[in-house]
């Protein structure tokens, strides 16, 4: 029985090959009858036998994701030899101190340096052919910058300057963040908290808002994952959860997502999750803001509307004058989210767009009709968000899985316990009480805290607790100490809530995070969890992974 390919453990070469296949095979798989000329052309471009291409088309139709097109038997080419990790480290060290220099040493000089270091370490040196291969596999732009200079690298690798445009719906979607020009209040005392963050997504062809997410936290991989989920999945269930009726048809898997170069847009989970579903990520060139003009204009439009609300900070201090934004604030996060939904669906989508000459809602219908093939939905909607959540690789120990100093256990892990089995552990920073374990042969299971008496906590609470313990000089930190610290911090926070804005803000952040962790967006629950201390208010989430 062949082993199912793993999209995250596949080599970069194998993954790139599968992505190339997906772009060419997708139109063939969508056709009821495949034209012979198109079929022959794809065979030539992919260098495949006819039987193999038929097989790949069948696999893609069964599961229309990139990982379906990975070769079933991963590994090295025939006759290849995998170097030991310390030999790879020697090559990397030699690359840094010898090859990446402005004198531009040759590959032969690099090999001589590798031989010297290997001799000193008492290990066999790789061949010059292997060393040349490592040069080809290195980041060519960074290599060129180190050897030729930053200006030369920019001139050689910079993309051609042009404005982004799209011919049809969801060909290109842009995503970006902004700090909302509005103070919000907490849900309990209705006193000023802070300015929230807004993540927006726009379809360039129709100017339809494809999705948005508001948060008290700074932009993170989690906020990106949530806005991608909203732009891809039908918005009916999301609107029903908020008891709202609105016409918001924009959904589906976009061809391209255009992003800036913030750290949260470069995470491996986002990169592999997007490629898994046939989405290309394109990052905005550095210091070229015109590439993000559409999303920047949308942000300006939304903030212009927000400036009419009580508690607005306006665009700058001079415009604000003597207006006290905090004192005048009246809206909670939930109310702001509902207001933004109405502003987007009831006004922005319905009003004539100056750049299009018609409303985005009508432009959506026109651009949707222009698509050369129908919009796609995720093969498994329930798994879609999980493909974008952060993850760590862990061994299954005899006492379970350890993540962030916390132990997780379920009886399904028994066959792997203590046998050197490495698994992938996906976690939701909004709720660490459960993780999703992915093992060999498509094994996926939700695993909870080993000690079910522990309450739900956020990743932010966990990190704040660790920082407090280190500040107290704690040398050894165990699970019980972490949870006892969080419980004490929650007790102190409960006493302080209502007296200080910082305490209210911290309580609101964690309560929203844990509430979201219980929603349909969270990791699945395969068995009940004993929950205690629910009456204790949570602490703030200061940092997301």
Element housing 484 (H / E) = helix 479-496
189-194 average pLDDT score? 79
Q: Is 116 helix (H, G, I), strand (E, B) or coil?
A: helix
The confidence score (pLDDT) of residue 287 equals 52
Tell me the average pLDDT of the chain.
Answer: 82
Pair 361, 208: CB distance under 8 Å: yes
Phi and psi (nearest 5°) for 83? -75, 150
Residues contacting 325, CB < 8 A, separation 6+: 182, 183, 311, 312, 313, 314
CB atoms within 10 A of CB 340: 20
Three-state DSSP state, 469: helix
CB 467 within 8 A of CB 474: no
pLDDT band at 520 (very low <50, low <70, confident <90, very high): low
Instruction: Identify the weakest region by mean pLDDT among 15-29, 208-222, 415-429, 457-471.
Output: 457-471
Provide the 3-class DSSP secondary structure of residue 446: strand
The one-character DSSP state at 284 is P
pLDDT of 62 over the 50 cut: yes
Residue 517 has pLDDT above 80, yes or no: no
Q: What is the CATH number of domain 172-381?
A: 3.30.420.10
Contact criterion met (CB below 8 Å) for 445 and 410: yes
pTM of the complete model beyond 0.85: no
Mean pLDDT lowest among 67-71, 157-161, 202-206, 482-486: 157-161
Where do the DSSP E strands lie in 87-167?
none
Q: Is the pLDDT of residue 512 over 80?
A: no
Burial of residue 318, with CB atoms counted within 10 A of its CB: 0-12 exposed, 13-18 middle, 19 or more buried: exposed
The backbone torsions φ and ψ at residue 111, rounded to the nearest 5 degrees and listed phi first, read -65, -40
Q: Give the burial class of 235: count Cβ atoms within 10 A of its Cβ; 0-12 exposed, 13-18 middle, 19 or more buried.
A: buried
User: Does pLDDT of 541 surpass 60?
Assistant: no
- The least confident of 5-19, 395-409, 411-425 is 5-19
Contact between residue 350 and residue 361 where contact means Cβ atoms under 8 Å apart: yes
Tens digit of each residue's pLDDT (9 = 90 or more) over 241-262: 899 999 999 999 999 999 888 8
User: How, if at all, do strands 391-395 and 422-428 pair?
Assistant: antiparallel
* Angstrom distance (rounded) from CA 516 to CA 430: 7
Query: Are the beta carbons of 407 and 491 closer than 8 angstroms?
Result: no
Ranges of each domain in the chain: 12-69, 85-157, 172-381, 389-517
Q: In sequence order, which residues have a C-beta less than 8 Å from that of residue 158 and are 6 or more positions away?
A: 285
391-395/401-403 β-pairing: unpaired
Do residues 43 and 56 make contact, with C-beta atoms less than 8 angstroms apart? Answer: no
Kindly tell me the burial class for residue 386, based on how many C-beta atoms sit within 10 Å of its own C-beta (0-12, 13-18, 19 or more): buried
State the sign of the Cα–Cα–Cα–Cα dihedral 480, 484, 485, 486. positive
**pLDDT per position as a tens digit, 314-362:** 655 455 556 677 888 888 888 999 999 999 999 999 999 988 899 999 9
Token output for 524? 């699945």
Residue 335 φ/ψ, nearest 5 degrees:
-70, -40
Pick left, alpha or beta for residue 400 (phi over 0 → left; psi -120 to 50 → alpha; otherwise beta).
left
162's CB contacts (< 8 A; 6+ apart) are none
Distance CA 157, CA 154 (A): 5
Assign 540 a pLDDT band (cuts: 50, 70, 90): very low
The residue to which tokens 């379906």 are assigned: 68
Tell me what pLDDT residue 518 has: 59
pLDDT at 538 over 50: no
Taking residue 436's Cβ as centre, other Cβ atoms within 10 Å add up to 20
Please determine whether the domains at 85-157 and 172-381 fall in the same fold group of CATH. no
Residue closest to 195 by CA, chosen among 183, 178, 177: 183
Could you tell me the two tokens for 393? 């690789």
The pLDDT, as a whole number, for residue 337 is 92
Q: Does the pLDDT at position 138 exceed 70?
A: yes
**Tokens (6 digits) for 287:** 């210091």
Q: How many residues does the chain have?
A: 545
Pairwise CA distance, residues 24 & 16, whole Å: 13
Contact 280, 256 (CB under 8 A): yes
CB-based contact 414:371 (threshold 8 Å): no
pLDDT higher than threshold 60 for residue 295: yes
DSSP string, 255-299: SEEEE-S-GGGS-HHHHHHHHHTTPEEEEPPTT-GGGGHHHHHHH
| Assigned superfamily of 85-157 | Homeodomain-like (1.10.10.60)
What span, in angstroms and rounded, lies between the C-alpha atoms of 18 and 242? Answer: 40
Q: What angle do CA 172, 173, 175 make, to 5 degrees?
A: 145
The DSSP string of 340-408 is HHHIIIIIITTSPPTTTSS-HHHHHHHHHHT-SSPPP--SSHHHHGGGGS-EEEEE-BTTBEEETTEEE
pLDDT tens figures, 79-114: 445 788 888 888 889 998 988 888 888 899 999 999
Of 3-12, 371-380, 432-441, least confident by mean pLDDT is: 3-12
The stretch 422-440 carries a mean pLDDT of 87
pLDDT in tens, 34-61: 989 999 999 999 999 999 999 999 999 9
pLDDT over threshold 50, residue 160 = no
């Amino acid at each position: 029985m062949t082993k199912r390919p793993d999209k995250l453990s596949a080599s970069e070469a194998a993954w790139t090959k599968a992505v190339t296949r997906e772009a060419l095979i997708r139109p063939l798989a969508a056709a009821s009858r495949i034209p012979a000329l198109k079929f022959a052309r794809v065979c030539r471009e992919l260098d495949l036998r006819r039987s193999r291409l038929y097989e790949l088309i069948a696999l893609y139709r069964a599961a229309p994701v990139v990982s379906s097109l990975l070769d079933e038997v991963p590994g090295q080419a025939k006759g290849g030899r995998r170097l030991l990790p310390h030999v790879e480290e020697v090559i990397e060290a030699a690359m840094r101190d010898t090859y990446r220099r402005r004198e531009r040493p040759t590959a032969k000089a690099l090999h001589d340096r590798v031989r010297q270091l290997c001799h000193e370490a008492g290990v066999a040196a790789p061949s010059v052919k292997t060393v040349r291969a490592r040069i080809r596999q290195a980041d060519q732009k960074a290599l060129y910058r180190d050897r030729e200079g930053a200006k030369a690298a920019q001139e050689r690798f910079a993309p051609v300057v042009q404005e982004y445009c799209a011919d049809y719906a969801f060909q290109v979607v842009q995503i970006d963040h902004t700090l909302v020009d509005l103070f919000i209040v907490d849900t309990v005392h209705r006193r000023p908290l802070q300015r929230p963050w807004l993540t927006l997504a726009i379809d360039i062809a129709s100017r339809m808002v494809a999705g948005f997410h508001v948060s008290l936290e700074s932009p993170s991989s989690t906020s990106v994952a949530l806005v991608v989920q909203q732009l891809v999945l039908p918005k009916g269930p999301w609107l029903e959860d908020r008891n709202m009726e609105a016409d918001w048809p924009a959904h589906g898997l976009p061809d391209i997502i255009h992003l800036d170069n913030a750290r949260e847009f470069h995470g491996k989970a986002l990169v592999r999750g997007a490629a898994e579903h046939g989405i290309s990520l394109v990052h905005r060139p550095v210091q070229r803001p015109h590439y993000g003009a559409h999303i920047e204009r949308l942000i300006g439009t939304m903030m212009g509307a927000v400036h009419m609300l009580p508690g607005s900070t306006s665009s700058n201090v001079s415009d604000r004058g003597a207006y006290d934004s905090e004192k005048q604030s009246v809206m909670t996060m939930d109310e702001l989210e509902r207001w933004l939904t109405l502003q987007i669906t009831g006004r922005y989508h319905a009003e004539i767009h100056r750049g299009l000459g018609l409303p985005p809602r009508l432009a959506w219908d026109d651009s949707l009709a222009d698509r050369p093939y129908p919009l796609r939905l995720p093969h498994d909607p329930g798994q879609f968000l999980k493909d974008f959540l952060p993850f760590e690789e862990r061994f299954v120990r005899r006492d379970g899985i350890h993540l962030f100093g916390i132990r997780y256990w379920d009886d399904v892990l028994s066959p792997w316990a203590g046998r050197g089995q490495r698994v992938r552990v996906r976690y939701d920073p909004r709720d660490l009480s459960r993780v999703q374990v992915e093992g060999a042969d498509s094994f996926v299971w939700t695993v909870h805290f080993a000690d079910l008496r522990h309450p739900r906590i956020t990743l932010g609470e966990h990190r704040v607790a660790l920082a407090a313990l280190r500040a107290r000089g704690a040398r050894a930190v165990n699970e019980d100490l972490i949870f006892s610290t969080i419980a004490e911090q929650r007790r102190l926070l409960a006493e302080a809530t209502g007296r200080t804005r910082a305490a209210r803000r911290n309580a609101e952040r964690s309560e929203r995070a844990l509430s979201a962790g219980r929603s349909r967006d969270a990791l699945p629950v395969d068995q009940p969890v004993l929950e205690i201390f629910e009456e204790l208010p949570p602490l703030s989430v200061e940092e997301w992974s």
